[in-house]
Structure 1
Amino acid sequence: MSNLFETFSARVREALDALAAEGVIPAGLDLRNVTVEPPRDASHGDLATNAAMVLAKPAGTNPRAIAGPLAEKLAALPEVASAEVAGPGFLNIRLVPGTWVDVLRAIEAEGDAYGRSALGNGQTVNVEYVSANPTGPMHMGHCRGAVVGDALASLLKYAGYGVIREYYINDAGSQVDTLARSAHLRYREALGEDIGEIPEGYYPGDYLKPIGALLAADYGDTYVGKPESEWLALFKTRTAGAMMDLIRADLALLGIHHDKFSSEAELQASGAIEAAVERLRAKGLVYEGVLEAPKGETPEDWEPVELTLFRASQFGDDVDRPIRKSDGSWTYFGADLAYHAQKAESADQLVDIWGADHAGTVKRQQAAVTALTDGKVELDVKLVQMVRLLRAGEPIKMSKRAGNFVTLADVVREVGKDVVRYIMLTRRSDAQLDFDFAKVVEQSKDNPVFYVQYAHARIHSLQRRMAEAGIAVVEPALDRLDDEELGLMRLAAHWPRTVEAAALAHEPHRVAFYLGDLAAAFHALWNRGNDDPSRRFLLPDDPALTAARLALSRAIGQVIRNGLSIMGVTPVEEMH
């Protein structure tokens, strides 16, 4: 019974099959929308099912006419204490206390595997995240998307999917030309030239100085005073490669490692864009046409120009989208379209983690994936809002040395990988997030990182403290756990369901929310011993109950570790 909700979904279906065999309901009803969930109000029971509500209409009867007989079937199960019809036909189920002891034993038996799922059934999901332009080190603007993407990849793998972690290198645009020119300046500087102020529009950060020195060591003054045509392509390749090495090192500080790096420049050179466009043209989805004038006041310099357009409007987008410009070059969308076609060849689902400023391009990219795969591959785009950096409530000053941004490396070195990763998952990705350097290391219940880690550290301390108190190790009296203690197991029983729901929604922050609730429930149980010594976890005069409470705490610790592993956070064993 490691997934209680899955187990009782099967029980409900078995009961419905029995009712069909008895002629109470028609045979062959579609049961796909029948669910077993926690009731909205915990006082109503442990489980609730909508079976009668969703089956009444196709069965040609009213919900209560199904709910009554179904309640009788379920109430007869040995693990069910009661099954009651509520309102128009919902069914609330209460389970016997032994059920929660069984959950405890399941966690103890399964350990790290508790909560793992076969939901994905081996399907492959390509999760593309970070994909920052290779123009400098990682900064905190990239951090949240990096953590969300990496945690989502771990979550999907935990839920039984095959996962490809991918990084798309945008190394074909004008920003890489600017990077090469900026590196050429630093190259000349490394050879002793006074380059003065960095020109407007160039990358000013000191991080390019080592690249300039490396280029100077390799090429001497070969490319000083030479036209761009002789060095630009070489400097682009060398500098973008060096930046990617820097980016990989920065991501490694967060524990992030991608399976695959794809280059836009290589994509364009391979002819993949032309191939993808011809596939769409063969389907009648590409044509030469003129876009409508911009809505509102038309700019004076606007004139109709014939472009190569994709019929995005046939797939839910607002208008058709250009994939080739009038000068023959590809639009960004044209390249992205081909890149997603390439990803779809080796995945059943695609997930992109994008900054919120890209919200306007979501529909067109989803339209392209639908068209290219005949609807067989779905693209889900998760938008990530900015992180506001604060120190003691005040906006943080930027680092001029780095080029007017706060580097990810500096933040990780100051507060640690685990703190950074956890905080990035404490809000929905599409909600703004504040990262206050003072608050994220504060040891208080208002700091979610501390609160969960403190619960784990408390649990870890119990075994040592039991030995120090000289309490004998005996068989745990699990049947003596009270209702509040078993309430922790009720919450622990939600973990497998949380994993599956978070995986289906592509929302790893649900794991952080769940761990916060679990830690709060554990701390509340711990604190009741402050007023009543008989409720403490360690009872020197009652080793059997002590053993039961330690078994309970170990189970909670296991679930916390399982959740933290998805988040990429290391559980602590003691707080300093």
Structure 2
Amino acid sequence: MTLYTRFAAHIDAVLDALEASGDLPAGLNRANITVEPPRDTSHGDLATNAAMVLAKPAQTNPRALAEKIVAHLASLDEVEKVSIAGPGFINMSLTDDTWRAELSAIRDGGDDYGRSNRGAGTTVNIEYVSANPTGPMHMGHCRGAVVGDALAALLEFAGHKVIREYYVNDAGGQVDVLARSVHLRYREALGETVEIPEGLYPGDYLIPVGQALAAEFGDAYVGKPEEEWLVLFRTKAVAAMLVLIKADLALLGIYHDLFSSEAELQAAGKPEEAEAELRSRDLIYDGVLEAPKGQELEDWEPVVLPLFRSTQFGDDQDRPIKKSNGQWTYFGADLAYHFQKAQSADALIDIWGADHAGTVKRIVAAVQALTGGKTRFDVKLVQMVRLMRNGESIKMGKRSGNFVTLADVVNEVGKDVVRFTMLTRKADAQMDFDFAKVVEASKDNPVFYVNYAHARVASLHRRAAEAGIVCDSIDLSQLDTEDLALVKFAAQFPRIVDTAAAAREPHRIAFYLYDLAATLHALWNVGNDRPDRRFLLPDNPAMTCARLFMADAIGQIIRNGLAIMGVQAVQEMN
């Protein structure tokens, strides 16, 4: 139990006591009660809104209720001072020994400090990347991949069971285009001079695939009609592309638990199962869509289609699940896919590119309908990344074969730089990735700034050993108010993990680590002008050992946060 959860338990105990004494009605909803740092540190160390939340349902004055809560909190040994602010907010200042005890808790918790059971073992399916299997990963896929993977690690750290899933879109027209492109490379491998027409994939990454097919089949499919080889070449090409994709993701340290095939989903009759389920509840009917706006009526023919009652769940219009030719629409296939996922998870999260924003409402509606609203479903939209080099934009286009691959970027700047950088902005905010900036040794580069903080901590033990300082015992009473200000910020880590997991926002970990690093650097730099504030004091081994202990705890939190982000903490800066 960390400090914040402990004080949440204290608040609960106080409210229980007030209920027992008749000062509060029993059974009030406490879900919105918080314990957090006040915005202004001069107000204290912790603040709670308990009186503000409960006063109205208790039909009492919030300040009067706050006074009753304060009377109980003031008796806690950990509390030095408690006061009421404004209409009923309660602020607490804790004793220095309470913060020293939390510092020891950080060290004792080690790699598990900040871990929680918020998820209580509930299973969350996170689908991320899911790029069309038509080529290697490029930087357009990178951000969603990192956000999804970091979110998976964050939710695991917060006590959830997580399924990492990749949906292979191998049933659409784009994989037929891939198959035709590979067939040309197959003929090329057999000695034919070919020209890649516009509309096919010209990338050199398909040359080895064509060569492998030539070695396997010889000229058996040269000059043959498309219907004889299309399905075979499509299957072989998708398999080859998945090998490339998995290798590219591995460069980022990303591994999925499950690769689900759209083609297999349809072959197994899953869309029909989803349709039958919805029809059984009168959520699919046969109807006619409205004529498209702005289109001449003579150019449009009304066609009866199976329509999902999407408007009952907040969508703008009902949606067709099949086309006029009987094939499943994209929505029909996606509906079935989410139905399949919901059968093995308590919650679903999709990481999508921002260009898919228009389809969010209909899929949210479908999941709500198919699960009776029992399965939480979140869609996280990820904006594209603009690649830059020294301020100049780098263009990329997959169809043209002229694109910057994920492997190129990782090989140039490193996995950890890529992963950290992708989490330095909210996922739905635009991002520039400048090759020069992300490796810059400056405070403006969060990757460097956080790593520098950890490297500073790591250097202390080497320097202490060189100075002959041995820490056989630790006296944390040596730490004063300035030292404990750093401890107070460090102790927020479990709360940050909890709120980030609840919001499904892994970037909050990166933001917190940057602020923690800034707090450490600020305290460190005080020693430049005031020698007594230095972490290493050869003439004062007791103080040195206490500050070493504190620094180690900060380093532990940095490592724990970076581990959630999938980044390795560095021991020294080159």
TM-score when normalising by structure 2: 0.98
Q: For residue 363 of structure 2, what is the aligned residue in structure 1?
A: 365
CA distance in 2, matches of 1:41, 1:473: 36
Instruction: Name the SS for the 1:329 alignment partner.
Output: coil
Q: Which amino acid aligns with 2:113?
A: Y
Structure 2 portions without partners, runs of 5+ = none
* Cα distance per residue 1:318-369 (max 9 Å; x no partner): 1100101111110000000000000001000000000000001011101111
Q: Relative to structure 1, is the Cα distance of residues 195 and 292 closer, same or farther in structure 2, using a 3 angstrom cutoff?
A: same
Q: Relative to structure 1, is the Cα distance of residues 312 and 397 closer, same or farther in structure 2, using a 3 angstrom cutoff?
A: closer
* Cα distance per residue 1:480-524 (max 9 Å; x no partner): 212121111111111111111111111000000010000000011
Which among 211, 216, 224 is matched to residue 222 of structure 2? 224
Moved beyond 3 Å, runs of 4+: 295-300, 397-402
* Cα distance per residue 1:526-564 (max 9 Å; x no partner): 111111111111101100000000000000000000000
Instruction: Name the SS for the 1:530 alignment partner.
Output: coil
- Comparing 542-551 with 18-27, greater Cα deviation is found at 18-27
Q: Which amino acid aligns with 2:100?
A: V
* Cα distance per residue 1:114-138 (max 9 Å; x no partner): 0000000010000000000000000
Which among 326, 329, 343 is matched to residue 327 of structure 2? 329
Q: For residue 292 of structure 2, what is the aligned residue in structure 1?
A: 294
Q: For residue 285 of structure 1, what is the aligned residue in structure 2?
A: 283
- Structure 1 residue 401 displacement after superposition: 11
Q: For residue 30 of structure 2, what is the aligned residue in structure 1?
A: 31
Matches within 5 A, 1:535-546: 535-546=533-544
Matches within 5 A, 1:73-88: 73-88=72-87
Instruction: Name the SS for the 1:121 alignment partner.
Output: coil
CA distance in 2, matches of 1:509, 1:312: 32
Instruction: Please say if 1:124 is aligned against 2:92.
Output: no
- Comparing 294-303 with 237-246, greater Cα deviation is found at 294-303
Q: Which amino acid aligns with 2:524?
A: W
CA distance in 2, matches of 1:287, 1:351: 28
* Cα distance per residue 1:14-69 (max 9 Å; x no partner): 11222222232333333222221221222211111111111111222111110112
Matches within 5 A, 1:19-418: 19-196=18-195, 198-296=196-294, 298=296, 301-398=299-396, 403-418=401-416
Instruction: Name the SS for the 2:527 alignment partner.
Output: helix
- Comparing 68-77 with 297-306, greater Cα deviation is found at 297-306
Q: Which amino acid aligns with 2:39?
A: R
Instruction: Please say if 1:432 is aligned against 2:414.
Output: no
Instruction: Name the SS for the 1:324 alignment partner.
Output: coil
Matches within 5 A, 1:460-479: 460-479=458-477
Q: For residue 499 of structure 1, what is the aligned residue in structure 2?
A: 497
- Whether contact under 8 Å (2:38, 2:45) holds in the other structure is yes
* Cα distance per residue 1:160-204 (max 9 Å; x no partner): 0000000000000000000000000000111111103x1010001
CA distance in 2, matches of 1:352, 1:238: 28
Q: For residue 421 of structure 1, what is the aligned residue in structure 2?
A: 419
- Structure 1 residue 473 displacement after superposition: 2.6
- Whether contact under 8 Å (1:474, 1:543) holds in the other structure is no
- Structure 1 residue 259 displacement after superposition: 0.2
CA distance in 1, matches of 2:419, 2:274: 37
Structure 1 portions without partners, runs of 5+ = none
CA distance in 2, matches of 1:357, 1:367: 19
- Whether contact under 8 Å (2:200, 2:399) holds in the other structure is no
- Whether contact under 8 Å (1:341, 1:369) holds in the other structure is yes
- Comparing 401-410 with 334-343, greater Cα deviation is found at 401-410
- Structure 1 residue 298 displacement after superposition: 4.7
Q: Relative to structure 1, is the Cα distance of residues 34 and 438 closer, same or farther in structure 2, using a 3 angstrom cutoff?
A: same
Give the % identical residues: 69
CA distance in 2, matches of 1:29, 1:506: 28
- Comparing 483-492 with 384-393, greater Cα deviation is found at 483-492
- Whether contact under 8 Å (2:397, 2:403) holds in the other structure is yes
CA distance in 2, matches of 1:463, 1:499: 28
CA distance in 2, matches of 1:412, 1:140: 10
* Cα distance per residue 1:244-280 (max 9 Å; x no partner): 0000000000000000000000001111111110110
Q: Which amino acid aligns with 1:272?
A: K
* Cα distance per residue 1:220-260 (max 9 Å; x no partner): 11111000011101000000000000000000000000000
- Whether contact under 8 Å (1:206, 1:401) holds in the other structure is no
Q: For residue 565 of structure 1, what is the aligned residue in structure 2?
A: 563
CA distance in 1, matches of 2:503, 2:455: 31
CA distance in 2, matches of 1:268, 1:19: 59
CA distance in 1, matches of 2:552, 2:511: 20
Kindly report the root-mean-square deviation, in angstroms, between the aligned alpha carbons of the 2 structures: 1.3
- Whether contact under 8 Å (1:499, 1:511) holds in the other structure is yes
- Whether contact under 8 Å (1:421, 1:569) holds in the other structure is yes
Instruction: Name the SS for the 1:61 alignment partner.
Output: coil
CA distance in 2, matches of 1:40, 1:458: 29
- Whether contact under 8 Å (2:201, 2:399) holds in the other structure is no
- Whether contact under 8 Å (1:84, 1:93) holds in the other structure is yes
- Comparing 565-574 with 30-39, greater Cα deviation is found at 30-39
- Comparing 446-455 with 389-398, greater Cα deviation is found at 389-398
* Cα distance per residue 1:140-176 (max 9 Å; x no partner): 0000000000000000001000000000000000000
Q: Which amino acid aligns with 1:119?
A: R
- Structure 1 residue 397 displacement after superposition: 4.5
CA distance in 2, matches of 1:10, 1:66: 18
CA distance in 1, matches of 2:413, 2:153: 23
* Cα distance per residue 1:383-421 (max 9 Å; x no partner): 000000000111025489981211000000000000000
CA distance in 2, matches of 1:550, 1:209: 57
